[in-house]
Amino acid sequence: MKKEKALLLFIAVACFCLLAVMAADALLHIRFPKTEQIAVSAPAPVFTPAPSWGELDPYALDMDTLDALPGIGPATAQAYLDYLDQGYRFHFPEDLKNVKGIGDKKYRDLLPFLRLTLPQAPETDPLF
């Protein structure tokens, strides 16, 4: 009985090895068709020149200037102007996010273009 089990195990291992060799040989002889490389030229991007860093007064912007800012379209520009017309002011740079249509991403994109200053702390602090 032990001889039969050993013989069956030997045959199973031999079959597995033969199958592995045949599979490896088949994989080595696979020929893939050659692919053609197609050169595609993308059109040159068109950029609207944006205002320089920190040159814009947030209270003196008009529709055309707002529309040239990154991420600002006509609807957001109008919401910005409406925000100021309602008497709201920007006390902190984060107040830009109060304008409808300006979220975190647009806020980060706009911040470099506007002259927004934080309120100055008193020169002497009684706690220190």
Give residue-wise pLDDT tens across range 73-128: 899 999 999 998 998 887 777 888 899 998 998 888 887 877 765 445 555 555 54
Q: What is the rounded distance in angstroms from the CA atom of residue 11 to the CA atom of residue 5? A: 10
Helix (H, G, I), strand (E, B) or coil at 118: coil
Interior/surface letters 79-110, b for 16+ CB within 10 angstroms, e for the rest: ebeebeeeeeebeeeebbeebeebeeebbeeb
Q: What is the pTM of this model?
A: 0.49
Does the pLDDT value for residue 53 go beyond 50?
no
Q: Out of 1.10.150, 1.10.3930, 1.10.3470, 2.60.300, which CATH number does the structure's domain 63-113 have?
A: 1.10.150
Q: What is the rounded distance in angstroms from the CA atom of residue 56 to the CA atom of residue 93? A: 13
